[in-house]
Structure 1
């Protein structure tokens, strides 16, 4: 949106220059050609064709002063910066037509034209800086989202790992308790069964056999439950 506003502003400046020229076919043609050529910078990605058209337009600026006054608009859309460094050959190429139109009679207009070119250069730098800031913001935003996704995935894995560790610890504790019951209580019950068997062998009275048999059966049932 800012690029379009800058183009409209520079177009307005070019129109102001042309107002002081004699309005004829050449001024109208120069204005229309400048608008069309500026639009091709956004519509076509092939830089060879756009560069060739711009070169033809620069030749026309030498031939006609009306084309010369519309250069600030095309200057804004030219590749003025290369990897954050000013493209000096490109700038000199767009300033070259001024040599052919330098005239004391038009000195005021030439100075205003030079100021318009400088203004176009500053607008271009501001636009590129803003685009760079937007790219950095988008890159930082994407990086933050990626980090958030990674952290979320790590937290999820940690929760799963924690649940597994709790489950393993529970099973280990359960096995330990079962082993202790089997080794300790089971051993005591086995010893009790042996002692009851010994008592039954020693004391053969009938009135003791039935209680001892019931006791032996109860202990055996307890052994089975423990197992």
Structure 2
């Protein structure tokens, strides 16, 4: 279950750490934050906004619980930006955690100045309009090549975004925290002259035991 404590724990680790332990649920590398140090962790509230009409984004945000990450499926469109300064500001003031859009954003300088996390495939000066012709919300969507269901946990930083099923969250956070501790020890050890073979029997793993190698990786 997502709560303030689990959010705090997530924000002290990284998506890349959890990435060691998942076999799916990661968005394509094109999904990046508008500004370098952005980081988000929160349950998804999903939107599908097609073409040059983004009215549904506002409609959905007015129904999203505070703390949500607004995840926007653009149906493959990579021309029209449905998220700029006004959308980001409104989301911030309404208590949203951030926005992830499978398409371009705009007004990057303003978004960086307000320090509200927006993740997108890039930037575009061509924006959507308020027509109200189409759109859906609170449904299963596709974003960055990943399937996202309402309530899935969105965790992202400058390295990218992953999608975590709520029932797997606690276990994955525990694994990430243990891996963080391992890495702290490794960093100290490697700076003192040790090498990975001091911790793993790499020769055996590579030369004799492919399956053992896979099992060892799962422990890291």
TM-score by length of 2: 0.22
Greater relative CO (CA pairs within 8 A, separation 6+): 2
Q: Which has the higher helix share?
A: 1
Q: Which has the higher strand share?
A: 2
User: Which is greater in Rg?
Assistant: 1
